[in-house]
Amino acid sequence: MYIKLLLKTFLLFIFFTNAVVAKFDINAPRVILQDFLSGKILFEKNADHSIYPASMTKIMTSIIAFDLLKNNELNLNDNFLISENAWRLSKSGYSSMFIMVGDEVSVEDLLRGIIVVSGNDACVALAEGIAGSEEEFAIMMTEKAKEIGMNNTNFSNSSGINDPDNYSTVRDIMIMSNYLIKNYPDYYTYFAEKKFTWDRTGGDPITQGNRNPLLYKNIGADGVKTGYLAVEKYSLASSIFKNNRRLIAVGSGFKTKNSRSKESSKLLIWGLTNFDTIEISKKKKNIDQLNVWMGKSDKVNVVTNKDIYITIPKAKKKYIKTVIEYNGPILAPIKKNQKVAKLKIYFKDEIHSEYDLYSSENVKKENIISRIFTSLNYLVWGDV
C-alpha cells in the first residue's frame, strides 16, 4: 500500500532566486556567497576563474596544523626552532610576527601569528617545523586541497607570497573556509581575535591587530582571512554568524582596502536580508513514525543520516512541504539503519530534493500466534 504522510507545511515568502540576484551586484570581478548550513550558493560571479589567493593561502596552512593537532601528532605547546629562512620574512615589506633566528616558539603562538597578524615568517616557521621544509609542507597543503574538493587549486608555499604556481579560485577558497569552520569550530575562534601580542625575545612585546576589517563592524563577522598581491589586488574570505545563520563569502580583485570592506559587508548583509534557511531534519533525530506490518511494534521511528537545511529567497508566499513516501506498512523484521522510505521536499508542486530515510531502531517480527491473529484481523476487518 502506497502511503504519503504530510510532515510539515511552511507558509513562506519566496520567489525565484534568479529574480533576487538579477537586482544585485558586487563591485569585484570574482565573488561567491554560500549559506553554511544548507550549502546553497546565493550569489556567484566568475567563481571558477583562477586567482592568486595571497594570504588566504594561510587558511590551509592553519588547517594542516589543526589536522595534526586533532590526530595528536602535534601539540599547541610544542616549540619550533626559528630558522634564518623564516626570520628573513620578518623584514620590512612583509606581514610579520617578528620572530628571531634561534627563537623557540610554540605552535599556538605561531598559529596566532599566522591567523591574527598574517605573519609570513610564522608560516615558514610552522611549515618547517611540521614538514622539514616549506616545499614539503606545500605538497601536504595541495594534497589536502584535493581531498576536500578544491579541484582548481595548487599551493606552492605556506604564506601566499608571489608565485604563479600558487593559485586557486574563490569557489575553492569558499570550500576551504567551509571545511575549516565545520571541522574545527574550537580552533576557528582564533580567527575572531582582534589582536595578538607576541612576547618576543630580546625586545618589548609587539601587539598587532587582526587584518580582517569586518571584525570591527557590528555585523557578526568572526573570520576568515584577508589577502593582497599587487597583481590580484585586495581579497577577503569572510564569514558572518547572526540569528543562527552562517554565511561564507569570498571576493577577489577589490581595487582598494575600503572597497574590500564595504563590498564584502554588503554581500553578507544582502544574504542575511534576502534569504531564509530552514531546518528540515537533524542527523539521527527521529522525524516521524511509519506503520509496521507483523512486527512486535506497529510503528518504527525514521531518521535522515545527515542534517538537512534548505535556503530560499524571502518575498511572495509559496508553499513548501515535506512528504514521506514509502510502500507500507513495512514488513517486519526491520533492522536499525535500514533504508525504509524517501523524504521529498517540494516547492509548490515541483520537487526540490529528496533524501533516504532510515529506521532508527530494530523492530522484531511477531511470534507465529500473533502473526496468525494479525492476518485474520486484516482479512476480516481490513485493519492492519
Could you tell me where the DSSP H helices lie in 44-201? Answer: 58-70, 84-87, 107-115, 120-131, 134-147, 170-183
Say whether pLDDT at 374 is over 80.
no
| CA 58 remoteness from chain centre | 16
Say whether pLDDT at 201 is over 70.
yes
Does the annotation count 58 as an active-site position? yes
Return the domain boundaries, the chain.
Answer: 2-12+280-381, 15-276
Does the annotation count 38 as an active-site position? no
Say whether pLDDT at 13 is over 90.
no
The pLDDT of 150-170, averaged and rounded, is 96
Mean pLDDT across the chain: 89
Question: What's the pLDDT score for residue 2?
Answer: 33
Distance CA 14, CA 264 (A): 24
Poorest-pLDDT segment among 107-121, 165-179, 307-321: 307-321
Task: Report residue 8's pLDDT band, with 50, 70 and 90 as the boundaries.
Answer: very low
**The listed CATH number (3.30.420.40, 3.40.50.300, 3.40.710.10, 3.30.830.10) that belongs to domain 15-276:** 3.40.710.10
> What single letter denotes the amino acid at residue 219?
I
Given a contact cutoff of 8 angstroms between Cβ atoms, the answer to whether 365 and 295 are in contact is yes
Range among 169-173, 297-301, 311-315 with highest mean pLDDT value: 169-173
Phi, psi of 368 (to 5 degrees): -60, -40
Task: Report residue 15's pLDDT band, with 50, 70 and 90 as the boundaries.
Answer: very low
Catalytic annotation, pick one of 95, 118, 252, 264: 118
The pLDDT of 33-38, averaged and rounded, is 97
How do residues 335-368 score in pLDDT, each as one tens digit? 999 999 999 998 877 888 899 999 999 999 876 6
Say whether pLDDT at 91 is over 50.
yes
Catalytic annotation, pick one of 58, 144, 225, 233: 58
Strands 104-106 and 79-81: antiparallel
The CATH class that applies to domain 2-12+280-381 reads mainly beta
Say whether pLDDT at 5 is over 50.
no
Report pTM.
0.87
Question: What's the pLDDT score for residue 77?
Answer: 97
Question: What's the pLDDT score for residue 375?
Answer: 55
